[in-house]
Amino acid sequence: MQAAKDTFYVTLRDRLAQAYPARTITVAGVTRPALVVVENDQPSITARQKDAFYLEWGDARAVRPAVSKLMAMDCTLTYGSAGTDAIGGLDRGRAVAEMDSELLVICAPFTTEKYDYTGSNRLDLGSTIFWSMPKFQVGQAAPNCIARQASITVYFFPEVNQA
C-alpha cells in the first residue's frame, strides 16, 4: 500500500510543480510545491498554511475480495484561502475556485505507473494505480478563510514482498 500512496503523492506533487510553479509553501526556509501528506510531514507544517493542499489517507479495502486483488484507498485533500491582501481577502472564493481547477488539472490523467520510492532510486513495480475524479465539498474554514475538501479514491494492486 505504501508504494501506491507514495506514487499518488509524488505524481500530484510533480504535476503541481510543473503546471503551477507559483503554488508553493516555505517550510524551514525551503520552498517546495504546496502539497503536504499530513502523516509523513513535519508537525510544524500541519498547522495548515493557506493556499496549500493537505492530503490525508483513509483505510484501505478490497474492492471485490472474491473476484480480484484490487484494493481501494480513499484520500481527502483539504485546502483553503484567505484571498489576497491587496483587496482585503474579498477574492477568497475565487482563490479557492482556482485551487479547485488546479486540482482537476493535476489529477488528469487519472492513472500512472506505480513505483517503490523507499530506495535512493525509484523502482518500477510493473503495475499502475488509478483514481476517481475528485468529489468536492465545503471544508472547515479558519477565520477569514474559505476552505474546501476533495475526496478521491485511489485503486491499486498490493505489492507482494518476495523473500
CATH number of the structural domain spanning residue 124: 3.30.2000
Q: How many domains does the chain have?
A: 1
Say if residue 163's pLDDT is above 50. Answer: no
Q: What is the mean pLDDT of residues 146-150?
A: 94
Host domain of residue 89: 2-156
Q: Establish if 162 belongs to a structural domain.
A: no
* Sign of the CA dihedral running 53, 109, 18, 86: negative
Over the stretch 44-74, which tens digit does the pLDDT of each residue have? 665 577 899 999 999 999 999 888 899 999 9
Q: In terms of DSSP bridges, do strands 146-156 and 135-138 run parallel, antiparallel, or are they unpaired?
A: antiparallel
Instruction: Please work out, in degrees rounded to the nearest 5, the angle formed at the alpha carbon of residue 40 by the alpha carbons of 37 and 43.
Output: 95
Confirm whether 144 is domain-assigned: yes
Average pLDDT over residues 16-27: 95
Is 82 inside any structural domain?
yes
